[in-house]
């Protein structure tokens, strides 16, 4: 019997695939939106696509265990959209770089020169956090009905996110929700997280989210020169 | 829940190494898992048992070493252990810190024959 030193990263294959995805994504800004089920990712996406499609070339990748419901909601806006059903990959509770690679090819990401590619991950605050997809920015959505302690219960998600959208703020008057406490908890875990309060269904403060995307798109274009 | 996906990844890496070393059976595997990852060790052990059925990995003893989360202060450069998800530097109270340990998912050694 022999003990062999391996020291190999278990996530290596996913990370290598994510690097390949980055090459396909090129100069587009790619964001990975994550949240628990029902926090409002798809509604935010609908309102975002509605606003951005006038000024940017945009594509959407939807991730769910089953159904094409979310992709159908985005199709109305006549932008390229591809639905990943993780049940076809063994019922995964998260997207991985392989699945996104397939989706990027389906939306012709290498040829179409998008300004922005938005990935909506499977609704889950746990598993998606461990899988890099090749995205530039990670965005976590939290709705006010979920409570102030979620960042403490799911620390990795809030630790790795670049921005957090606090959704459904129109409901605050009806809830026992302590925003100060939430912000205190977030600051403890990730002081650099950009916080945006909004209500996607009412269209409140969507301009702040749009401004952040404008800035990220500009930063990415400025940073990355054309490859040829 | 994604422990199954992680377990499959581990199995594939381990079986490749087994092949490379021309060994027949995996007797033990040492894993290093950071506590900031979302892996639940018991769930991973169960998933490994399931995905290694009918492979030379079946019955291998799995040992998981957990790594504590650490961060380094951007200002005073102190490296500290993160307790109770508190990422504030204990020395200068600065909150601009970088995670330096806790996200590991590593196969450290494989015992084979």
This prediction's pTM: 0.92
CA A103/CA A223 separation, integer angstroms: 25
Total count of domains within chain A: 1
ipTM exceeding 0.95?
no
Find all residues with CB under 8 Å of A135, minimum gap 6, and list them: A25, A30, A31, A32, A119
CA angle (A26 as vertex; A23, A30 as ends), nearest 5: 100
**Beta-carbon separation of B113 and A8 below 8 A:** no
pLDDT at A226: 53
B2 with A155: Cβ contact below 8 A: no
What's the CATH code, domain B3-112?
A: 3.30.2320.80
Measured at the CA of A98, the angle between CA A160 and CA A142, to 5 degrees, comes to 35
Q: Token pair 């019955």 is at which residue?
A: B59
> Please, which residues have CB within 8 angstroms of residue B10's CB and are 6 or more apart in sequence?
A10, B29, B31, B48, B107
* Closest to A165 in 3D by CA, of A56, A40, A61: A40
Longest CA pairwise span in chain A (Å): 66
Task: Tell me the per-residue pLDDT of A82-129, one tens digit each, with 9 for 90 and over.
Answer: 999 998 887 788 999 999 999 999 999 999 899 999 999 999 999 999
The answer to whether position A12 is within a domain reads no
3-state secondary structure of B106: strand
CB contact under 8 A, A6 and B38: no
Whether A119 and A29 have beta carbons less than 8 Å apart is answered as no
Question: pLDDT tens digits for B25-57?
Answer: 999 999 999 999 989 999 999 999 999 999 999
Do B38 and A130 lie within an 8 Å CB cutoff?
yes
Of B2, B38, B110, the CB nearest to A6: B110
Set of chain A residues whose Cβ sits within 8 Å of the Cβ of B108: 5-7
Range of the domain at A60: 21-222
Q: Which of B20, B24, B38, B97 to mutate to test the interface with A (most CBs of A within 10 A)?
A: B38
Residues of chain A under the 50 pLDDT cut: 228
With respect to residue A228, please indicate whether it lies within any of the assigned structural domains. Answer: no
Residue A191 contacts B, CB cutoff 8 Å: yes
State phi, psi for A133 to the nearest 5 degrees.
Answer: -115, -10
CA distance B76 to B95: 11
Residues in chain B: 113
pLDDT the model gives residue A224: 56
CATH of the domain at A44: 3.40.50.300
Nearest to A120 by CA among A74, A170, A54, A77: A74
Q: With contacts defined as CB-CB under 8 Å, which chain A residues touch B13?
A: 6, 8, 10, 12
Residue A192: CB atoms within 10 Å: 13
Q: Chain B residues with CB-CB distance to A under 8 A? A: 1-2, 4-6, 9-10, 12-13, 17, 21, 23, 27-28, 31, 36-39, 85-88, 95-97, 99, 103, 105-113
Contacts of A13 in chain B (CB under 8 A): 9, 12
């Amino acid at each position: 019997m022999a003990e062999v030193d391996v020291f190999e990263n278990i996530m290596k294959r996913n990370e290598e695939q994510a690097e390949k995805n980055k090459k396909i994504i090129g100069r587009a800004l790619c964001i990975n939106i994550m949240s628990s089920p029902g926090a409002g990712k798809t509604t935010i996406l609908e309102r975002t696509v509605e606003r951005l499609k006038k000024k940017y070339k945009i594509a959407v990748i939807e991730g769910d265990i089953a159904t094409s419901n979310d992709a159908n909601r985005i199709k109305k806006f006549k932008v390229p959209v591809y639905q990943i059903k993780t049940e076809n990959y063994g019922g995964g509770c998260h997207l991985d770089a392989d699945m996104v690679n397939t989706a990027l090819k389906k939306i012709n990401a290498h040829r179409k020169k998008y300004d922005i590619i938005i990935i909506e991950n499977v609704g889950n605050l746990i598993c998606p956090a461990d899988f890099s997809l090749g995205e530039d920015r990670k965005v976590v959505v939290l709705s006010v009905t979920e409570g102030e302690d979620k960042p403490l219960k799911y620390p990795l998600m809030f630790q790795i996110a670049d921005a957090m959208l606090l959704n459904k703020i129109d409901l605050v008057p009806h809830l026992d929700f302590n925003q100060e406490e939430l912000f205190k908890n977030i600051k403890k875990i990730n002081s650099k997280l950009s916080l945006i309060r909004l209500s996607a269904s009412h269209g409140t403060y969507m301009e702040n989210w749009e401004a952040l995307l404008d800035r990220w798109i500009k930063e990415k274009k400025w940073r990355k020169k054309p490859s040829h | 829940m994604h422990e199954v996906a992680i377990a499959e990844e581990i199995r594939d890496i381990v079986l490749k190494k087994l092949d490379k070393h021309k060994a027949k059976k995996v007797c033990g595997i040492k894993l290093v898992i950071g506590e900031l990852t979302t892996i639940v060790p018991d769930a991973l052990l169960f998933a490994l048992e399931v995905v290694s059925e009918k492979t030379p990995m079946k019955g291998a003893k799995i040992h998981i070493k957990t790594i504590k989360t650490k961060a380094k202060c951007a200002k005073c450069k102190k490296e500290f252990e993160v307790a109770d998800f508190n990422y504030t530097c204990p020395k200068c109270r600065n909150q601009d810190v970088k995670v330096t340990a806790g996200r590991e998912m590593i196969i450290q050694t494989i015992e084979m024959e």
